């Protein structure tokens, strides 16, 4: 094997461990963070998933997923009810067992939630000292470049591939400055339909090095979702982001610093669509930081 073959095989081994579900939550988070930030790993994962789908479909195994989930649910329900006998000696005895059928997969999916820092309310974490939020938000800030069709397709593909690898819980994905971060959302509550994937884009200008920073967050639009991310960028100090989602808009808060003594931040509401909103600015190291946000629907959540 050449060096390239070896590195390809190493990446494939890690991704296969991810697909097999044999990783610990912390290892899984690491691999998915790699997938979120590394284009090569993402393309390889996409190829592996497509290859897996094709080969399984060739033998008709793709049509049995529901049956598999039902039989797993049946087994788990019988375990919960203490109905499993010590040992069975006849396959026929297991056919259509009288186990109570309970849908526990949703609870299981929720139980593997890792990484996402979710809080019941965001407002208590936002410190408003030194905040300047404009009374009339500036719409269509010229600083925010329009999201192109190619970018929309690219972001949708990234989210879709990571979501397929996660196989159950819906992920959020943070992409900024060549880096990536990833976490899961809890299962949606009843009535909280996820119809759209959302690109929440924050533009911070100037950044700590004088350059504009763009932070992209991919997250399913879900009413009443509260998402708190402790570090979406570093402006000399950590920049935290809190999002509260509504039917057709979201409140986005950005905070620099920790605790009531030194935290500064801004917060504002942005409607879903192509329009960007300048939600405010704050001084950091004597320099004004302008914050522009946008929440662009990318299409249906797969």
Partner 1 sequence: MPRPTEQEIAAWYPRLFRTALRLTGSAEDAADLTQQAFCNAFGRWNQFDGAALATTWLHRILLNCVRDWARRRAFRSTSQVQEWDLVPVTDAAPDGRARVERQEELAAVRNAVEGLPADVRSALVVTVIDGYSYSEAAELLQVPVGTIASRVHRARTLLRAAMGDATEEVEP
4 binds partner 1 (CB under 8 A): yes
Determine how β-strand 226-234 pairs with β-strand 287-300.
unpaired
Name the segment binding partner 1 (CB under 8 A); options: 53-61, 192-200, 213-221, 257-265.
53-61
Q: How far, in Å, CA of 218 to CA of 158, rounded?
A: 9
Rounded to an integer, what distance in angstroms lies between the CA atom of residue 243 and that of residue 259?
18
Answer for which of 27, 32, 63, 302 binds partner 1 (CB under 8 A) is 63
101 binds partner 1 (CB under 8 A): no
Nearest to 134 by CA among 295, 296, 294, 292: 292
- Of 72-91, binders to partner 1 (CB under 8 A) are 72, 74-76, 79-80, 84-88, 91
Is residue 17 a contact point for partner 1 (CB under 8 A)? yes
104: contact with partner 1 by CB under 8 A: yes
Rounded Cα distance, 190 and 221, in Å: 15
Contact between 40 and partner 1 per CB under 8 A: yes
| 11 touches partner 1 (CB under 8 A) | yes
Radius of gyration of the CA atoms of the chain, in A: 22
Q: How far is the CB of 40 from partner 1 (least distance, A)?
A: 4
Out of 2, 60, 120, 148, name the contact with partner 1 by CB under 8 A: 60
Contacts with partner 1, residue ranges (CB under 8 A): 1, 4-5, 7-13, 16-17, 19-22, 38, 40-41, 43-44, 46-47, 50-52, 54-61, 63-64, 67-68, 70-72, 74-76, 79-80, 84-88, 91-95, 97, 104-105, 108, 111-112
């Amino acid at each position: 094997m050449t060096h390239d073959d070896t590195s390809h095989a190493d990446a494939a081994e890690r991704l296969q461990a991810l697909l097999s579900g044999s990783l610990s939550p912390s290892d899984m988070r690491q691999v998915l963070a790699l997938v979120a930030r590394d284009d090569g790993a993402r393309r390889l994962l996409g190829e592996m998933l497509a290859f897996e789908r094709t080969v399984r479909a060739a033998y008709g195994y793709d049509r049995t997923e529901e049956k598999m989930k039902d039989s797993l649910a049946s087994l788990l329900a019988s375990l919960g009810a203490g109905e499993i006998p010590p040992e069975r000696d006849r396959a026929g005895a297991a056919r259509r067992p009288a186990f109570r059928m309970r849908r526990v997969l949703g609870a299981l999916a929720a139980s593997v939630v890792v990484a996402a820092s979710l809080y019941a309310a965001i407002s208590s974490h936002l410190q408003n000292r030194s905040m300047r939020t404009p009374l009339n938000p500036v719409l269509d800030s010229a600083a925010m470049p329009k999201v192109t069709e190619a970018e929309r397709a690219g972001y949708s593909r990234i989210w879709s591939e990571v979501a397929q690898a996660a196989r159950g819980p819906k992920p959020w994905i943070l992409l900024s400055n060549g880096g990536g971060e990833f976490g899961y959302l809890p299962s949606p509550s009843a009535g909280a339909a996820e119809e759209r994937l959302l690109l929440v884009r924050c533009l911070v200008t100037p950044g700590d090095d004088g350059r504009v920073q763009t932070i992209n967050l991919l997250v399913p639009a879900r009413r009443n979702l509260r998402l708190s991310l402790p570090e979406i960028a570093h402006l000399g100090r950590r920049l935290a982001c809190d999002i509260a989602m509504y039917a057709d808009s979201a409140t986005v808060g950005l905070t620099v610093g920790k605790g009531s003594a030194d935290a500064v931040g801004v917060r504002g509401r942005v409607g879903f669509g192509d329009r960007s909103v300048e939600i405010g600015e704050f001084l950091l190291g004597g320099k004004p930081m302008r914050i522009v946000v946008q929440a662009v629907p990318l299409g249906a959540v797969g």
